[in-house]
Amino acid sequence: MRGTPHRADMWGMEQERPALAAALALQCDWGADEALMESPADRLAVRDAPARAPEAARPAPEPTQPRAVRASPVALATAPPAITRAETLAEAAPDLAALKAAIAAFDGSALKETATNLVFGDGVADSGLMLIGEAPGADEDRAGRPFVGASGQLLDRMFASVGLSRESSFYITNILPWRPPGNRTPTDAEVALFLPFLRRQVALVRPKRLVLVGGVAAKGLIGGKEGITRLRGRWHEVDIPGLGRLPALPTLHPAYLLRSPASKRDAWADLLLLRRALDQASG
């Protein structure tokens, strides 16, 4: 039939379709959001405009669907900040189950959109000892439990060496309940946003001592500008609303120890310091 593409031509077009789609996707990734002509248009040139139809001959406009109403700038400006909403939700949680549900419902962070599971806590809540890490990794995100990957297995072996385990001796959680994309380090803004939930979690668990696993947890709760290598090896105090000041021991993160095995000696010294404090308290 005249005007119909030849079968071979159609096959060639189908072969080119993936390449064209890939090229279009690349343009979008580079920020191209509008099409341009190969040569500039002379918009001052006079063109023959088509004759306008008489008003009576114009077709009536078709009814359009109502557009979604967007929040006005005034409404957005008066909406409470995310950190204020986090504080309100955290303070209202009467127990750990309610706090977990409040975190799951909280929409003030984009981390929730890229994570698979909420990672809340694990271990014995009334043990008197609470460990706080920085954020879930890929294994934790899949399992919905903190410290279950390679670094978590090393942590379990480390604490078992001084007679402690999550099954009987401590409760463990992270500053962030959602995995950051690509296992990147949490930002200061993300840590500040979820600190109200963490402090409320500590208040509900009511530990007698804290172990801050890694620099992010130590900086988030202790503050200041010192890094983990300067903070570790000694006890600090952390202020928790409803509990007062708790003794906190910063230590190296097991993920760091996997990359730097020579630092395990320092981590072992921290564990011995923790063990002595626990023994003195029980004696």
Q: How many structural domains are present in the chain?
A: 1
166 belongs to a structural domain:
yes
Please check whether residue 55 lies inside any domain of the structure.
no
Which domain range does residue 197 map to? Answer: 81-282
Q: What is the pLDDT of residues 6-24, one digit of tens each?
A: 555 555 556 666 666 666 6
Work out the pLDDT band at 78, boundaries 50, 70, 90: very low
**Residue 70 falls inside a structural domain:** no
What is the chain's percent helix, strand, coil content, to nearest 5?
50, 10, 40
> Is residue 196 in a domain?
yes
Mean per-residue pLDDT for 166-171? 97
Instruction: With respect to residue 25, please indicate whether it lies within any of the assigned structural domains.
Output: no
Round to whole Å and give the CA distance between 199 and 178.
16
Instruction: Quick: pLDDT tens for 256-276.
Output: 999 999 999 999 999 999 999
| 203 residue type, one letter | A
CATH number (domain holding residue 152): 3.40.470.10
> So what's the pLDDT on residue 77?
42
Residue 30 maps to a domain: no
With respect to residue 274, please indicate whether it lies within any of the assigned structural domains: yes
Angle at 217 between CA 273 and CA 172, to 5 degrees: 70
Q: In this structure, is residue 175 part of a structural domain?
A: yes
CA distance 203 to 219: 19
Using the predicted structure, report yes or no on whether residue 166 has a pLDDT greater than 70.
yes
